[in-house]
Amino acid sequence: MKSLAILVAFLLVSALLSGPIAFVLTRLHPQSRRGDISKKIAIGLLTMWGTLCGVQFAMAHVPSLVRLIGIASVSISLYTVRVEFGAPRKLKED
């Protein structure tokens, strides 16, 4: 049971922190192309992990505080993706 509690605590903390860490990374402006690619990969991995963990907590039968943490994780992660990679563009109609 102790290992299960450690696993749940790790998932909860990672869901709570992955979105804000990815958002902070969007504020960095590396000078090289390699740094920019590394930043985008890190943001992609963090937001993917935050979204996956957040959806699991938001959909599970858990207390409301944990559900709110899951919803906040998904929201912050999706907002970070929008800030870093841009919003979807509407195609022009002729």
pLDDT of residue 80: 93
Hey, where are the domains in the chain?
A: 2-85
Tell me, what DSSP letter sits at residue 1? Answer: -
Mean pLDDT, the chain, integer: 90
Res 94: pLDDT? 57
pLDDT in tens, 11-29: 999 999 999 999 999 999 9
Q: SS3 for 17-78, per residue?
A: HHHHHHHHHHCCCCCCHHHHHHHHHHHHHHHHHHHHHHHHHHHCCCCHHHHHHHHHHHHHHH
User: Would you place residue 44 in the very low, low, confident or very high pLDDT band (cuts 50, 70, 90)?
Assistant: very high
